Amino acid sequence: MIRLDAAAAGFAQAFTALVDARRESSADVTRDVAAIVADVRQHGEAAVAELTLRLDRHDLAETGWGIEPATCAAAYDALEPGLRTALDLAAARIRAYHERQKPVDSDWRDEAGVRLGARWSAVDAAGLYVPGGRAAYPSSLLMNAIPAKVAGVRRLAMVTPTPDGQINPLVLAAAHLAGVDEVWRIGGAQAVAALAYGAGPIAPVDVVTGPGNAWVAEAKRQLYGVVGIDMVAGPSEIVVVADAANDPEWIAADLLSQAEHDTVTQSILFTDDAVFADAVAAAVERQLDTLATGTVARQAWEANGAIVTVASLAEAMPLVDRLAPEHLQLAVDDPDTLFARVRHAGSVFLGRHTPEAIGDYVAGPNHVLPTGRRARFASGLSVLDFMKRTSFLGLDETALAELGPATIALAEAEGLPAHARSVALRLRTNR
């Protein structure tokens, strides 16, 4: 774990190194994924079946490609009541939040008499990637499927790896609750390629969303353009800005809530109190020894964790912006003052009683967020990722007479005479 002091000599260089540290896929992953994508594009069903047998150790001819909706419904019905209530609460809050994101069509006529506007519509089909195996997250399924349904997507096809043919029943229950139309027993880069190109019983989709490992993220990157994607997601990250009035144990738990995801996740604390910084570091060490995920979390903390001491928390905010973190917690009494200074963050958690973990499950805002400093130019998953906007315009003779001469002048200046003629002919006819 790195300890930095903003007042120390060499801080600027050390912090720049922290900002620039890369934790994402290697050239080997890029090469391997390109081969898989090409294989699926050329051989379709056979390629997916062979890769599934080799990597997930089950034969699709025996286990079957799909999981029936009735199986998903049965998994939901079989949930322990408390867990089903929690899943229902999460789904309801996610749906309510995303309903408020739906865009409004526009249609008006301007002073020149031109009719202008835009109409929003959902994509026809969306593919959802849901991790399987050790990282089986029903919460991510809800976060991806519910915005798609709110947007009006007609067909939701979910892919999820089922190592040795096994699948997490909670994932099936979430698929039922979210209204997923198809569930396919495939994962990895080959599943993303199957969604993009189609393979066997799987028809192509228009958009692919959802988290996954480095191979899944790289497959989405390579297939962007064949399909739309939500984002190229890298390892998770959290930045916590906290003063000494916090309980060090709380802040340590917040930092480890991301460190336990993967060995390449990043957890960073900014504080204006060196004694508090020491207390949090000690609390992290104590908690690492008690976590079932402690081995993974320790590797992440020791390789990518950092505690940065600053003269004031206001001084921390430009540094936070440089990191543009996926998750930002402002654990202070007056978080709005600091929040007003934030320009780049995927999602912000305001106050001492708003741990990031709440946002992962039941708060409502989407937890699929930009990582790797992409919050400088990207936003979290939303209803808009499953929709597209079609602009329209309509002119009558009067409006064409108003705009036509300028159009002709610009077209001729650009050396495009057919553009100019298509307008000029109408103007002559109208005279």
Residues marked as catalytic: 326-327
For the chain, the first-to-last Cα distance in angstroms comes to 78
Cα–Cα distance, 170 to 79 (Å, whole number) = 8
Contact (Cβ atoms closer than 8 angstroms) between residue 143 and residue 231:
no
Helix (H) or strand (E) holding 405: helix 397-413
Tokens of 412: 């001729």
Tokens of 391: 């602009």
Residue 13 annotated as binding site: no
Contact (Cβ atoms closer than 8 angstroms) between residue 327 and residue 380:
no
Contact (Cβ atoms closer than 8 angstroms) between residue 235 and residue 266:
yes
Question: Strands 237-242 and 266-271, how do they pair?
Answer: parallel
Cα–Cα distance, 345 to 315 (Å, whole number) = 17
Residue 344 annotated as binding site: no
Residue 347 annotated as binding site: no
Residue 422 annotated as binding site: no
Residue 76 annotated as binding site: no
Burial of 317-356, coded b for 16+ CB within 10 Å and e otherwise, reads: bebbbbbbbbbbbbbbeebeebbeebebbbbbbbebebbb
Contact (Cβ atoms closer than 8 angstroms) between residue 209 and residue 381:
yes
Q: Of all residues in the chain, what percent are helix, strand and coil, respectively (each to 5)?
A: 50, 15, 35
Burial of 80 (C-beta count, 10 Å sphere; 0-12/13-18/19+): exposed
Residue 419 annotated as binding site: yes
Cα–Cα distance, 365 to 401 (Å, whole number) = 48
Alpha-carbon distances of 14 from 139, 162, 311, rounded to whole Å: 36, 43, 17
Cα–Cα distance, 294 to 299 (Å, whole number) = 8
Residue 353 annotated as binding site: no
Residue 246 annotated as binding site: no
- Which residue's structure tokens are 């409502």? 364
Backbone region of residue 225 per phi and psi (left: phi > 0; alpha: psi in -120 to 50; beta: other values): left
DSSP string for residues in 378-391: -----GGGGEEEEE
Residue 367 annotated as binding site: no
The radius of gyration of the chain's CA atoms, rounded to the nearest angstrom, is 25
Residue 181 annotated as binding site: no
How many DSSP H helices and E strands does the chain contain?
18, 14
Indicate the annotated binding residues for NAD(+).
129, 190, 213
Indicate the annotated binding residues for Zn(2+).
258, 261, 360, 419
Indicate the annotated binding residues.
129, 190, 213, 236, 258, 261, 327, 360, 414, 419
Indicate the annotated binding residues for substrate.
236, 258, 261, 327, 360, 414, 419
